[in-house]
Structure 1
């Protein structure tokens, strides 16, 4: 679902609104992330793996199909579904920042329901703030950044930076290819988290 300038404005707006729904509803984001990981799956798999009731699973899958972020890949029974790739860049109202909405960000939002640190961070900094934290999380896992540098750059406490980086670590490892450098700075930051709060 990469968007380019040759798309008509109505398509871009529809796609943005579809993605906005994912960012507003953690359950839909969680389902989209699951479908991204599984490549192709059935509603029965969704019910079993995400522990959703049959009606809820069908309702959510149908909403994602209607939104255009999930495709029916096999119309035979049982139907199979796959997530479409999302890569949408949004510019802030002031035009000073761009945020890219990717499956990793949607996955992080989907974890809001089960991870209090992600939930708190979104409450305080919004989804755009979470997108920024995810960028720092990727850089940290690659050994290019520390929680203290993130805290300084974003004017938050080192403890808050470490907490969100730890919460986003599984998302980063699931969606990005992390080199061996992860054992360097990532391991050192954990013991450091309490000292600078």
Structure 2
């Protein structure tokens, strides 16, 4: 479901509307994420992980199929489903930020009700803010930025930056390849302490 600039505007709008529910409803996002992890899973296989009643789970899967983000891979009972890849770039209403809706971002949104730090960050900065934080979290794990740089860039406190970076760390390691040769978190913290001592 990747879209580029040569797609018709109607297709792009339809694709955005088809993923908008995933960004608003954490349980839908978690269901999508579980189906993305399991290639060709039955509803029964994933509903316990999400703590959904059977009727609700089937209703949610049907919504995702109707939205075009999940497809039926095996039509005989029990039906099996797989998530389609999502890669949709969105510009904020102010036009000052652009972010991409990816499975990693949907996974992070899905963790909202299980992780108070992600929930608080979305409440304060919205999904676009979470997408930006996810970009910094990837860079942080690769040893390219520190939480202080993120805090300065986004005009948030260093503590808020550190909290969301830690909360997003499991998502980063699940979806992105992080080379072992990159700086560790301990090395980044040491760099931060050295910089504070020099100031």
CA–CA separation in structure 2 for the residues paired with 1:72 and 1:47: 16
* Aligned-partner SS, 1:77: coil
Q: How many residues align?
A: 193
Shift of 1:115: 0.1
**TM-superposed deviation, 1:64:** 0.5
TM-score, with normalisation over the residues of structure 2?
Answer: 0.91
Partner of 2:9: 9
**8 Å Cα contact 1:3-1:12 kept in structure 2:** yes
Which residue is 2:70 aligned to? 70
Q: Is contact 1:141–1:181 with CA below 8 Å preserved after alignment?
A: no
Shift of 1:109: 0.3
- Whether the 8 Å contact between 2:3 and 2:87 is mirrored in structure 1 is yes
Shift of 1:189: 4.9
Asked if structure 2 preserves the Cα contact closer than 8 Å seen for 1:162 and 1:189, the reply is: no
Superposed counterparts of 1:58-137, under 5 Å: 58-137=58-137
Q: Distance in 2 between matches of 1:181 and 1:14?
A: 42
CA distance in 2, matches of 1:32, 1:17: 15
Q: Give the deviation of 1:98 after TM superposition.
A: 1.2
Q: Deviations over 1:134-153 (max 9, x none)?
A: 00000000011111111111
Give CA deviations for 1:47-91 in whole Å, capped at 9, x if unaligned.
233232111110111110011100001101110000000000011
Structure 1 length-normalised TM: 0.92
Deviation at 1:187, TM superposition (A): 2.5
Partner Cα distance (1:97, 1:61) in 2: 32
Unaligned stretches of 5+ in structure 1?
none
Cα shift at 1:4: 2.5
